[in-house]
Chain A
Amino acid sequence: MSSYKKRYDGRKFDEMRPIKAQVGVIPNADGSARFSFGNTKAIAAVYGPKQLHPQHMQIPDKGLLRCNYTMMSFSVTERIKPGPSRRSQEISKVTEWALSSIVDLERFPSAVIDVHIMIEQADASTRCAGINAAVMALVQAGIPMKEMASSVSIGKCDETIVTDVSKEEEDYEDGEGATDMPFTILSNTKRISHLQLDGKVSQEKFSEAIKAAMKATEKIHEIQVKALKNIGEVIEA
């Protein structure tokens, strides 16, 4: 029996925190969006496609998608030193992989699309909120895409699978402790373009986590689409 029987914030195990999504939030950008899971707030901006400099970085037969994930220094209790950290560089890279597969990069030889993601307030699942915002920003920028993508963090507290992990759940210590599994699922083909895992989980529980991720990302996708159809409006769910 799992020791985690009731969630800290009273949610059902498969329930996400309140979501807010808004498209078109940075006038200078070609596309932009905000996305939040409860107290986790992310903002993303897309610039491009544009000429890539220096020239030797250009790829002759396709475009390049570059991603830059940053946590604002005051987004967490203990100030983060500004500038790239090992963690933020890794998250930038996995986000780049997650998004590169959905953008039709063959249409932009030698060009670059820059995706900037910033976390204003952090309460776990920041990379997922960032990816959700970035996908909306890419669509708003009018960049041809193969499909969309939605991201959610599935957790395991002792033996209980939970959807959209909060900070308290990330720090759960009883029994098998906490496992964090961020997933990014493509909207049409349901393929996985991003997956990480950190913790302790059996093969059976991992299968359960995949199912939870599929279910939650379907709902996130609906919200992203609704926000894109109502540019400027805050969509809540």
Chain B
Amino acid sequence: MENSNINKQAILNYLNSGKRFDGRKELEYRDLTIETPVSNKAEGSARVKLGNTEVVAGIKMSLGEPYPDSQDKGNLSVTAEFTPMSNSDYEPGPPQIDSIELARIIDRGVRESGFIDLKKLCVKGGELVWNMFIDIYSENADGNLLDAAAIAVIAALKTAKVPKIENDKVLFGEWTEHNVPLTEMMPLVVTFHKIGGKMILDPTYLEEEVSTGRITIGVSVGKQERIHSMQKGKEEPMSAEEVEFCVDEAFKKAKELKTKIDKLLK
């Protein structure tokens, strides 16, 4: 508690003079690296580093029945685990609200953007479809797991291959030459934190701890520019102007991120 207050004051003083502990500007991301694959047993997987934050995402697929309300589409499931090894504040046990929230925000972005062409993941209409499991783990949590996780999921999906099937059964460990069917609409997530009246991007864990307001904006920047998911987090309210500023900025940052991701995955 004491320590947090001292840090908070120091972070505030720095921000008020236009600085951050690591020398970044308010709306500047840390360095991004992407590594694929993480596991050669996965259909696709990726490790993303944003500064010291490290997140891995993996894709596994299986065959199953379609849901009653989507007979001709593959199924999608997203989970996330904030592992105890990634931060001393995280404890083992059932998923806590932070990781549930992260998984649900990523799920909404992937689903609503139509990034995965779920219609093409139907094997036999009404009978047999692909289940897509996207699972996310934090390996080192130093802030902004949300944005890092979205990038890891995109990288894992972009490098994923569809497994082979024989007699309506998956031949696990054998893959076709086909990529997972994706569209142009890359679902990125840009999260803003409010600290002492300043809006910052890509906070470190320390900055995240002292932030009082958060807004997460999921957008896609393909041929169209659309917002797909949004979530106001933490207690401090924001004005309509602040929210609109963040939306505007989110599109700019998402375009920059998309260019970086495309380059890193080449």
A and B assemble together: yes
A193 B232 Cβ-Cβ under 8 A: yes
In the complex, per-residue mask of B243-256: 1 if CB is within 8 Å of any chain A CB, else 0: 11001100100000
- What residues of chain A lie closer than 8 Å to B226, measured between beta carbons? 200-202
Give bound CA distance, A136 to B233, whole Å.
22
The majority secondary structure among interface residues of chain A is mixed
Most chain B Cβ neighbours within 10 Å, of A87, A186, A189, A198: A198
B199-237 interface code vs A (CB 8 A; 1 in, 0 out): 000000000000000010000000011111111111111
Measured CA separation A94–B237 after assembly (Å): 12
**Which secondary structure characterizes the binding site on chain B?**
mixed
Chain B residues with CB under 8 A of A203: 225, 227, 247-248, 251
Given contacts A97-B233, A101-B235, A203-B251, contact A198 B240 (CB under 8 A): no
How many inter-chain contacts with C-beta < 8 Å in the A-B complex? 90
Q: Which of A75-128 contact B (CB under 8 A)?
A: 86-87, 89-90, 92-94, 97, 100-101
Contact mask for chain A residues 186-207; partner B; CB cutoff 8 A; 1 contact, 0 none: 1001111111111111110011
Q: How many residues of chain A have a CB within 8 Å of chain B? A: 32
Q: How far is B113's CA from A191's CA once the two chains are assembled, in angstroms?
A: 28
Q: How far is the CA of A206 from the CA of B246 in the complex (A)?
A: 12
- How many Å from the CB of A45 to the closest CB on chain B? 22
Decide yes or no whether A60 CB sits under 8 A from chain B: yes
Contact: B232 with A97, CB < 8 Å?
yes
Indicate if the CB atoms of A190 and B239 lie closer than 8 Å: yes
How big is chain B's contact interface, by range? 20 to 34
Q: Is the CB of B1 within 8 A of A60?
A: yes
Contact residues in B for A97 (Cβ distance below 8 Å):
232-235
B 69-104 contacts with A by CB, 8 A:
95, 97, 100-101, 103-104
CB distance from B220 to the nearest CB of A (A): 8
Task: With A60-B1, A89-B97, A203-B225 as known contacts, state yes or no: A196 contacts B237, CB within 8 Å.
Answer: no
User: Which of B112, B215, B228, B232 lies at the interface centre, i.e. has the most chain A CB atoms within 10 A of its CB?
Assistant: B232
* CB–CB A86/B251 < 8 A: no
The docked-state distance in angstroms from the alpha carbon of A201 to that of B243 is: 15
Are A196 and B230 CB-contacts (below 8 A) given A189-B237, A210-B243?
Answer: yes
Whether B238 sits at the interface, judged by CB under 8 Å, is: yes
Separation of A123 and B112 alpha carbons in the complex (Å): 21
Taking CB atoms, residues of chain B closer than 8 Å to A86 are: 95, 100, 103-104
A94-B232, A97-B232, A200-B228 are known contacts. Are A195 and B215 too (CB-CB below 8 A)?
Answer: yes
- Besides the contacts A93-B97, A196-B232, A197-B227, what 8 more A-B pairs have beta carbons closer than 8 Å? A86-B103, A90-B104, A97-B235, A193-B232, A196-B229, A197-B228, A200-B113, A202-B225
Interfacial residues, chain A to chain B (CB-CB below 8 A): 60, 86-87, 89-90, 92-94, 97, 100-101, 181, 186, 189-203, 206-207, 210, 214
